[in-house]
Homo-oligomer: A and B are copies of this chain.
Amino acid sequence: MINFSINKAYFLQALNTTKRAISSKNAIPILSTIKIDVTSEGITLIGSNGQISIEYFISVKDENAGLLVTTPGAILLEATFFINVVSSLPDVVLDVKEIEQKQIVLVSGKSEITLKGKDAEQYPRIQEISASNPLTLPIQTLKKIISETAFAASTQESRPILTGVHFVLSDHKELKTVATDSHRMSQKNITLEKNGDNFDVVIPSRSLRELTSVFSDEIEQVEVFFANNQILFRSDNISFYTRLLEGNYPDTDRLIPTEFSSEVTFKVAHLRQAMERARLLSNATQNGTVKLEIASGVVSAHVNSPEVGRVNEEIDTEAVSGDDLNISFNPTYLIDALKAIESEKVVIRFISAVRPFTLVPAEESERFIQLITPVRTN
């Protein structure tokens, strides 16, 4: 029966990371528990919601963990409740001991709390992914790609494939990442430093957002493994599994226009603030759009809500060229797109009032392009 002692703060941080995979409202009750698997090498914490699974390994060799394993074993405990209890304990060190009938006794200072657990055999198996030939990615690169694309994925289940982000590795080092909800699209291309096996997968955008929270910035890189319908991101301590989406991702390359009639360079912050003002009023209009007007080198934004009022604003630009234009669109799409751009300036290129326009960072070195579809207003 389990018996170990551990640094409380370290244990709590590992529990909270693992809990990111656990939903207390899961349709499968056993998935509201956390699995604690103790061996002579260390403790593995396991959480899953059926879509993503996290394994957190705490090694007896990790000095910060202060882990001393006396007897191995495995048990399931209600995740939220167990974490609240551990968090409430008074002392730096926590002793954990299993007693009869799957009960766990936590001793910390003068406090002794006994919790009822469940048989570890009841927990579903997480698919093993063979550990051969992984792709290696710096965690910062992976997080940046996700923040540049995942927001553009659809949140509606009507076309499930669009709720994912399409990751394609070709020529063993050219990684293309793209997401679209059919109103806007975001695509990032990078060249990897280390070669890998080509792949073509669609990862749920929700899983990618969790991944961003799970891998802290102190982690340098992750290894990426594939199985039939799963992908595994692994650091020294953390294994993050997610189910892949099945189906064919639409061909997005053909959507990207190459010829334009007008081009405007903005400071990202200026344009974003103007759009946030416009959105306050456009939310009260029937079609929810802002009209952008390019006239003789001056760019302005206009919203007119018969109920609430109107906005008219000249927007500072860095450069304007090409034809005059009136184009209407949902300002939220432009705000989201601008949030994803790290560089100070953005270049927006237009074809016409009814064709998608593109955004690229003004720094040429970035291979990052976004598309927004306008809204036709008579």
Instruction: State the A residues within 8 Å of B (CB).
Output: 78, 81, 84-85, 88-90, 103, 110-116, 273-274, 276-277, 280-281, 307-316
A81 CB, nearest partner CB in chain B, Å: 7
Q: Complex: how many Å from CA A277 to CA B116?
A: 16
A281 CB contacts on chain B under 8 angstroms: 85, 113
A184 CB, nearest partner CB in chain B, Å: 23
Known: A81-B280, A280-B81, A280-B88. A114 touches B310 (CB 8 A): yes
Copies of this chain: 2
A116 CB contacts on chain B under 8 angstroms: 307-309
A307 CB, nearest partner CB in chain B, Å: 7
Q: Are A112 and B311 in contact (CB under 8 A)?
A: yes
Q: Are B112 and A312 in contact (CB under 8 A)?
A: yes
Q: Are B309 and A103 in contact (CB under 8 A)?
A: yes
A81 CB contacts on chain B under 8 angstroms: 280, 308
Q: Which residue of B lies closest to A310 (CB)?
A: B114
Q: Complex: how many Å from CA A14 to CA B116?
A: 53
Q: Are B311 and A110 in contact (CB under 8 A)?
A: no
A43 CB, nearest partner CB in chain B, Å: 20
A93 CB, nearest partner CB in chain B, Å: 16
A12 CB, nearest partner CB in chain B, Å: 14
Q: Which residue of B lies closest to A112 (CB)?
A: B312
Q: Complex: how many Å from CA A276 to CA B113?
A: 12
Q: Are B277 and A313 in contact (CB under 8 A)?
A: no
- 18 further interface pairs, Cβ-Cβ under 8 Å (given A78-B308, A85-B281, A114-B312): A81-B280, A81-B308, A84-B280, A88-B273, A88-B276, A88-B280, A90-B273, A110-B313, A110-B315, A111-B274, A111-B277, A111-B313, A112-B312, A113-B281, A113-B309, A113-B312, A114-B309, A115-B309
Q: Are B313 and A112 in contact (CB under 8 A)?
A: yes
Query: Would you list 28 pairs from A and B whose C-beta atoms are within 8 A, ordered by A residue?
Result: A78-B308, A81-B308, A84-B280, A85-B277, A85-B281, A88-B273, A88-B277, A88-B280, A90-B273, A103-B309, A110-B313, A110-B316, A111-B274, A111-B311, A111-B313, A112-B311, A112-B312, A112-B313, A113-B311, A113-B312, A113-B313, A114-B309, A114-B311, A114-B312, A115-B308, A115-B309, A116-B307, A116-B309
Q: Complex: how many Å from CA A241 to CA B356?
A: 55
A308 CB contacts on chain B under 8 angstroms: 78, 81, 115-116
Q: Complex: how many Å from CA A89 to CA B90?
A: 49
Q: Which residue of B lies closest to A111 (CB)?
A: B313
